[in-house]
Amino acid sequence: MARFAVRMEVDLPADMDADARADLLAREKAWSQQWQRSGEWVSIWRCVGEYANLSIFEVRDNEQLHEILWGLPLFPYMTMTVTPLATHPSDVHA
């Protein structure tokens, strides 16, 4: 199991067709929630004042993380920052 923090910034064209946008966002939500329910997408938070989120993933390996991120319907509109994480020696839960 490998843990990663991923920050995703979204930049949708302001003049996108409203129906296309609604459909895109619905598929985005479904893809995200499917991976939350199966346990790989552990946490997702909104960054205040930004069209961006910070997420924590626990995946099998790098390949699986890329599969999840690449499959996001919003991927072509996103900028990702991926940070691999390890156990911290001060962690009381580790």
Shortest Cβ 81–a second copy spacing (Å): 8
Shortest Cβ 20–a second copy spacing (Å): 10
Shortest Cβ 60–a second copy spacing (Å): 10
Shortest Cβ 43–a second copy spacing (Å): 8
Cβ neighbours of 28 (radius 10 Å): 17
Asked if 88 and 94 count as a contact pair (C-beta separation under 8 A), the reply is yes
Q: By the criterion CB under 8 A, which residues form the site for a second copy?
A: 1-6, 12-14, 28-29, 32-33, 36-37, 43-51, 53-54, 61-63, 65-66, 69-70, 75-77, 80, 82-93
Between CA 23 and CA 3 the distance in angstroms is 30
22/33 with CB nearer a second copy? 33
Q: Which residues, including other chains, have CB under 8 Å from residue 3's CB and lie 6 or more apart?
A: 56, 57, 58, 84, 85, 86
DSSP state of 61: S
19/87 with CB nearer a second copy? 87
